[in-house]
Amino acid sequence: MTELELWSYGVVGATFALYIGIAVWARASTTSEFYVAGGGIHPIANGMATAADWMSAASFISMAGMIAFGGYGGSVFLMGWTGGYVLLALLLAPYLRKFGKFTVPEFIGDRYYSKSARVVAVICLILASVTYVIGQMTGVGVAFSRFLGVSYEMGILVGMGIVAVYAILGGMKGITYTQIAQYIVLIVAYTVPAVFIALTLTGVAIPQIGLGGTYIGDDSGLSLLAKLDQVVTDLGFKEYTTQVMGSSLNMFVYTLSLMIGTAGLPHVIIRFFTVPKVKDARYSAGWALVFIALLYTTAPAVGAMARLNLMDTIQIGPVGSETGNLVYDERPEWFKRWETTGLLKFEDKNNDGRIQYYNDANPDFASKAEEFGWKGNEMVTVNNDIMVLANPEIANLPAWVIALVVAGGLAAALSTAAGLLLAISSSISHDLLKGVMMPKISEKSELMAGRLAMIGAIVLAGYLGLNPPGFAAGTVAIAFGLAASSIFPAIMLGIFSKRTNNIGAIVGMITGVTVTLLYVFQHKGIFFVKGTEFLMPELGMGANWFFGITPEAFGAIGALANFVAAILVSTLTAPPPEHIQHLVEDVRIPRGAGVATGH
């Protein structure tokens, strides 16, 4: 066993023992503790748990990778995900907490005085949550297989087992305190390597400041970002600091989709039901922003520095010179290790034994490449997701630092998976079973049903992690799109529009989620029907045909369709009962603020 494997097993094993110990200590004994931790979590603690719940494998592992290769365009994730929390703090959290229910479907069912609305909300919640949890289980499998020397499948099974112990035993109570521990693990794991690398590249220990500091790797005197711009443009890539994702319209819609998707994710919303008072819900959102900002302001530095380290490793001399490319047989050990995962692949297209890494899609660089004898970009796969995990290895940091990053990545994936699984199980046991099918079920039986539903959700998550569907690569974006297009509009209208009725809400949710799913699935030109597939080229399949908007950004358009359908149908049908309109006023207006006005 290598030194890295010893450190990885030790650090990961210690953190897992901590999570299980917390689960045993914080075991839930009532439905209130299982669903909302008894409603007694301190806002600072809840803010930390919310941050861990929110910062999934996508935030920890993928976001910096997307920034590393997306440049300025990667800022949509920072702005969208952070902006979503502002929406939560201002528009949703305090009102939902004042309503005083356990789950999002329960709020929708009571506000729209309809069991059908509650069932539709459950379906939308499960669609978004199951889609999201696939990515978490995949992240667990990759981290285990790369660093602990076990198979991808075994990694997922171990992850399922750990989540099962603390989620089934503790419910929301156990998950909350476990997520506090997981936040501490993941934030330390993220920032410690960033500090090391910032010191190496800029001489500044604070990564956020180092990002704008001077690069000390040569005598050029350039800033870190200016040096990165020079390196990538020399090889035909777009300038890092001005690179965008599609059109300006697409970036705007993408950011908006991530914002309202964040505000509509049920596993995040449910966290604001766990605090004692209404004002604590707002404070929790504020503290969550603080804790999230520690990672999110570090991510741009990690992404930029990782990209520069990768380029410097492969391009070790002037472009086109004899020493300008790394000799493949002399590649470093980290390169060999990541090749075995399939996330990094090299193909020697001109048989010169050297690695040519450049943008062969850039026509302006084609003549230079031909002059150098290059036959195409030979790094045929450089997966975004390796950047955070590989960055400490590329920078030759100690094994204990690399092991810490592994533990952090697993903590991020498992904390979010637990929150998602609880949202799924509570929607089944509390919303479907107690709320619709068996309203007289005892609390003990409901608690047992919640635990059984959790087991079922964990098995389903593991199965989808082991057998991911064809669209798994875009699962996170799809999950946000589904939440944005279905749940967010229903909650917003439920809080701020007395006129929106049950028929409007149901039609709106179905319209939003359907429009989004159709656009996502048709993008590759294929619809799936009962296990078969057929092409529909007459609809412009394969192109971003709706004003150039990508499927990942389409959730905002689905949300717009939801709003329009809900408002239009509500206008054409009977208004909600008088007591429901009074309920909306009571939820929206703070005590002592006077009589509610509005529509």
Mean pLDDT of 165-173: 72
Q: What is the pLDDT of residue 170?
A: 66
261 close to 555: Cβ distance less than 8 angstroms: yes
Q: Tell whether the model's pLDDT for residue 366 goes beyond 50.
A: yes
Res. 510 pLDDT band, cuts 50 70 90: very high
φ, ψ for residue 535, nearest 5 deg: -90, 150
Give the contacts of 467 (CB within 8 A, at least 6 positions apart): none
Two tokens, residue 113: 């005085």
Smallest Cα–Cα separation from 272: which of 437, 90, 80, 519? Answer: 90
Backbone dihedral region of 190: left (phi > 0), alpha (psi from -120 to 50 degrees) or beta? Answer: alpha
Q: What is the pLDDT of residue 565?
A: 96
Smallest Cα–Cα separation from 121: which of 271, 268, 266, 270? Answer: 266
d(CA 159, CA 146): 14
d(CA 349, CA 378): 6
d(CA 5, CA 318): 37
CA distances from 476 to 265, 288, 569 (A): 11, 20, 31
Distance, first Cα to last Cα, the chain: 67
Q: What is the pLDDT of residue 557?
A: 92
**pLDDT tens per residue across span 27-39:** 766 676 666 666 6
State the residue for tokens 């939801």.
Answer: 562
What number of CA atoms fall less than 13 Å from residue 336's CA on the CB side?
7
418 close to 336: Cβ distance less than 8 angstroms: no
Quote the percentage of the chain above a pLDDT of 70.
87
Which residues face 381 on adjacent strands? 345
Q: Tell whether the model's pLDDT for residue 468 goes beyond 80.
A: no
Res. 500 pLDDT band, cuts 50 70 90: very high
**pLDDT tens per residue across span 402-431:** 888 888 887 877 777 777 888 888 778 777
Cα-Cα-Cα-Cα dihedral sign, residues 394, 398, 404, 410: positive
275 close to 281: Cβ distance less than 8 angstroms: yes
104 close to 491: Cβ distance less than 8 angstroms: yes
Q: Domain residues of the chain, as ranges?
A: 3-291+400-487, 306-393
Q: What is the pLDDT of residue 209?
A: 92
Q: Tell whether the model's pLDDT for residue 102 goes beyond 80.
A: no
Smallest Cα–Cα separation from 134: which of 402, 340, 424? Answer: 424
d(CA 359, CA 275): 51
462 Cα distance to chain centroid: 18
> Which of 236-245, 250-259, 500-509 has the highest mean predicted lDDT (pLDDT)?
500-509
53 close to 272: Cβ distance less than 8 angstroms: no
d(CA 305, CA 324): 20
Smallest Cα–Cα separation from 510: which of 546, 571, 436, 561? Answer: 561
Give the E-state strand segments of 44-111 in sequence order.
none
187 close to 194: Cβ distance less than 8 angstroms: no
How many residues are given for the chain? 599
**pLDDT tens per residue across span 283-297:** 888 888 888 888 888
Q: What is the pLDDT of residue 42?
A: 83
Mean pLDDT of 192-200: 90
542 close to 525: Cβ distance less than 8 angstroms: yes
User: 343 vs 596, which has greater pLDDT?
Assistant: 343
Q: What is the pLDDT of residue 526?
A: 36
User: 523 vs 521, which has greater pLDDT?
Assistant: 521
Q: Tell whether the model's pLDDT for residue 198 goes beyond 80.
A: yes
Give the E-state strand segments of 386-450 in sequence order.
none
Q: What is the pLDDT of residue 147?
A: 65
Q: What is the pLDDT of residue 36?
A: 62
Q: Buried b / exposed e across 381-406, counting CB within 10 Å, b at 16+?
A: ebbbbbbbbbbbbbbebebbbbbbbb
**pLDDT tens per residue across span 310-343:** 888 888 777 777 777 888 888 888 888 888 777 7
53 close to 419: Cβ distance less than 8 angstroms: yes
φ, ψ for residue 568, nearest 5 deg: -65, -50
Q: How many CB atoms lie within 10 A of CB 63?
A: 29
Mean pLDDT of 494-516: 92
Which residues face 382 on adjacent strands? 344
CATH class of 3-291+400-487: mainly alpha
d(CA 419, CA 49): 10
Helices (H), 427-501: 443-466, 475-496
Res. 508 pLDDT band, cuts 50 70 90: very high
d(CA 262, CA 480): 7
Q: What is the pLDDT of residue 540?
A: 36
Which residues face 354 on adjacent strands? 327
d(CA 202, CA 207): 9
Backbone dihedral region of 598: left (phi > 0), alpha (psi from -120 to 50 degrees) or beta? Answer: left
Radius of gyration of the chain (CA): 25
Orientation of helix 278-296 relative to helix 75-87, angle to 10°: 170
Q: What is the pLDDT of residue 37?
A: 61
Res. 470 pLDDT band, cuts 50 70 90: very low
Q: Which of 16-25, 109-118, 351-360, 550-559 has the lowest mean pLDDT?
A: 16-25
Mean pLDDT of 523-548: 44
Has this prediction a pTM greater than 0.75?
yes
**pLDDT tens per residue across span 428-452:** 877 777 777 877 788 778 778 878 8
Q: How many CB atoms lie within 10 A of CB 563?
A: 21
CA distances from 401 to 139, 190, 565 (A): 19, 10, 52
What number of CA atoms fall less than 13 Å from residue 38's CA on the CB side?
13
**Residue 344 carries which DSSP code?**
E
Q: How many CB atoms lie within 10 A of CB 528?
A: 12
Helix (H) / strand (E) containing 516 = helix 502-522
d(CA 210, CA 224): 8
Q: What is the pLDDT of residue 101?
A: 67
d(CA 85, CA 96): 14
Mean pLDDT of 454-477: 70
84 close to 292: Cβ distance less than 8 angstroms: no
Q: What is the pLDDT of residue 146?
A: 65
Mean pLDDT of the chain: 80
Q: What is the pLDDT of residue 3?
A: 76
Two tokens, residue 60: 């920890």
